Amino acid sequence: MLIEQIVLTFWIAYLVGAIPIAYLVSRLHGVDIFTIGSGNMGATNVARAVGTGWGLLTWALDMVKGVGAIVIARQLISDHTSAVTMIAAIGVIMGHNWSIIVMMITGHLRGGKGAAAALGTWLIFIPPLLIVIAFGIWLAIIITTRFMSLAVLTMTSVISLMIIGLVMVGYYEPVYVNYLIASGLIFFRHRDNIQRLLRGSERRFGESATQ
């Protein structure tokens, strides 16, 4: 794969990921998502700030970014599909987490935490049965604990282990191991949530931004 193809794939995916859905949705309601609740540009904070329905819409559109980035990259570079998929997956999550568009608007390089965008990428290359299993684990954690962050981190860990296992049995090419970079980015952006979970001060899903 040529270096030009790598750079093109990454930047296309990054710019797709950088579209600030949560910021735009909250602005429609006169809310600055960065100054309310957790201050995070993500679906969970949108749900707390302007309503669950809008949060679900934000989650869905952020997922579309994950799907779209890989589809567009594959259309532009039809060979090296596995490598293109991994570069685009990492790029779209980085764009979502550190959006240059948000920096142009607010003056700060910031964004979401990558969960919904990551789920969109999983829909492209993870076998459906494994997605169902991972989603079932996510849903069980949400129902029993109402900690969205814990559910996301657990599901991300499960997907990572699945990818490693699929590479080991030869289902995936070794290049797919690079997706662990994306998983690492999600954990990095959730580091404050991890600390709050350990302290017992993490907000539960459904609590308002003022609680």
Checking if the pLDDT of 36 tops 60, the result is yes
Please, which residues have CB within 8 angstroms of residue 93's CB and are 6 or more apart in sequence? 17, 66, 114, 117, 118, 121, 182, 185, 186
Q: How confident is the model at residue 12 (pLDDT cuts 50, 70, 90)?
A: very high
Checking if the pLDDT of 134 tops 70, the result is yes
% residues pLDDT > 70 (the chain): 97
| Per-residue CA distances from 1 to 8, 38, 78, 80, 105 (Å) | 11, 41, 11, 7, 35
Q: How confident is the model at residue 210 (pLDDT cuts 50, 70, 90)?
A: very low
pLDDT at 206: 63
pLDDT at 78: 83
Mean pLDDT of the chain: 91
Checking if the pLDDT of 211 tops 50, the result is no
pLDDT at 37: 73
Lowest model confidence (mean pLDDT) among 12-16, 50-54, 62-66, 69-73: 50-54
pLDDT at 208: 55
Checking if the pLDDT of 68 tops 80, the result is yes
pTM exceeding the 0.85 threshold for the entire prediction: yes
pLDDT at 201: 86
- What pLDDT, in 10s, does the model give residues 187-206? 999 999 999 999 988 888 76
pLDDT at 207: 62
- What pLDDT, in 10s, does the model give residues 137-165? 999 999 999 898 999 999 999 999 999 99
pLDDT at 1: 67
| Per-residue CA distances from 23 to 42, 55, 63, 103, 133 (Å) | 8, 11, 15, 12, 31
DSSP 94: H
Separation between Cα atoms, residue 173 and residue 201, nearest integer Å: 41
- What pLDDT, in 10s, does the model give residues 106-130? 899 999 999 999 999 999 999 999 9
- Measured in residues, the chain has a length of 211
Contact yes or no for 148/44 (Cβ under 8 A) = yes
Separation between Cα atoms, residue 73 and residue 205, nearest integer Å: 34
